[in-house]
Amino acid sequence: MFGETHASLYRWRQRVQWIQRVTIVWMSVEAGASLLAAWLARSPALLAFGGDSFIELLSASVVLWRFSTPAVAEHAEKRAARIAGVLLLLLAVYVLVISALTLLGHHEPKPSVLGICILIAAAVAMPLLASEKRRLSAATGSAALRADAAESSVCGYLALIALAGLLVNLVWHIGRADSIAALATIPFILYEARESLRGKPCACAS
């Protein structure tokens, strides 16, 4: 029985490491491409999304480190959960600042075909990653992985928001629409940050 339990835990750990490596590769490409598109289009929505992608990259790296350190798993779990929670708080502040700058008229975004393509890909991929991470969080009892799943969910949500903003700007030339919607994500981000800092894993496996 003990051998079976140990083997099962090992398989879950391997699965987490695999999904985190996939996330790191994806977020590296996503962050670089979206920040490039933001610079070319002077788009605060893409800049916010690129910043979120970079924070998600850091979070995925933290969780991979946690699951690569079995000798100090409990200590690593608590530290990783706190780091992920702090990253979520930074994300909330980042979204607030970028949205406020846009609403105050400090930026005038331009249409971006590259940005639209990146956001469509992210809107499809990030919910799938988030769902798998929530399942693994429930199976492993990892609060750090729960926080990382939340960041993946927020990344997908922000992709949809930014995509809507770019399309609205392209069709109706309303550059501030995405910022209003982006502000609606902040309560969700703060809630997940609090749960992570409190060390709560995901309670559901789906």
Q: Is residue 53 part of a domain?
A: yes
Q: What's phi and psi for 131, nearest 5 deg?
A: -60, -45
Please, what sign has the CA dihedral across residues 146, 78, 192, 50?
Answer: negative
Could you tell me if 56 and 155 are in contact, meaning their C-beta atoms sit under 8 angstroms apart?
Answer: yes
- 177 HSE (CA, 13 A, CB side): 16
The pTM for the full model equals 0.78
User: Does residue 204 sit within a domain?
Assistant: no
Sign of CA dihedral 127, 133, 138, 144: negative
Closest CA to 87 of 54, 47, 59, 127: 59
- Asked if the structure places residue 163 within a domain, the reply is yes
Q: Which helix H or strand E contains 136, and what residues bound it?
A: helix 113-140
Q: In which band, very low, low, confident or very high, does the pLDDT at 28 lie, cut at 50, 70 and 90? A: very high
Dihedral angle computed from the Cα positions of residues 65, 69, 73 and 79, in that order, rounded to the nearest 10 degrees: -40
What digits encode the pLDDT tens for the residues 73-104? 566 667 777 887 888 888 888 878 877 877 77
Between 129 and 146, residue with greater pLDDT: 129
Position 48 pLDDT exceeds 70:
yes
> What tokens appear for 167 in the block?
């399309």
| Number of domains forming the structure of the chain | 1
Determine, yes or no, domain membership for 206.
no
**Does residue 205 sit within a domain?**
no
Q: Where are the beta strands (DSSP E) in the chain?
A: none
Q: Which domain holds residue 170?
A: 2-197
Tell me the C-alpha to C-alpha distance, in Å, between residue 42 and each of 39, 97, 115, 145, 165: 5, 16, 11, 33, 13
Which of these, 39, 37, 34, lies nearest to 51 by C-alpha position? 34
Judge whether 203 lies within some domain. no
CB 58 within 8 A of CB 31: no
The CATH number that applies at residue 88 is 1.20.1510.10
Report percent pLDDT > 90 for the chain: 20
**Does the pLDDT of residue 72 top 60, yes or no?**
no
Q: Is 101 helix (H, G, I), strand (E, B) or coil?
A: helix
- Give domain status of residue 62, yes or no: yes
pLDDT, residue 77, reads: 66
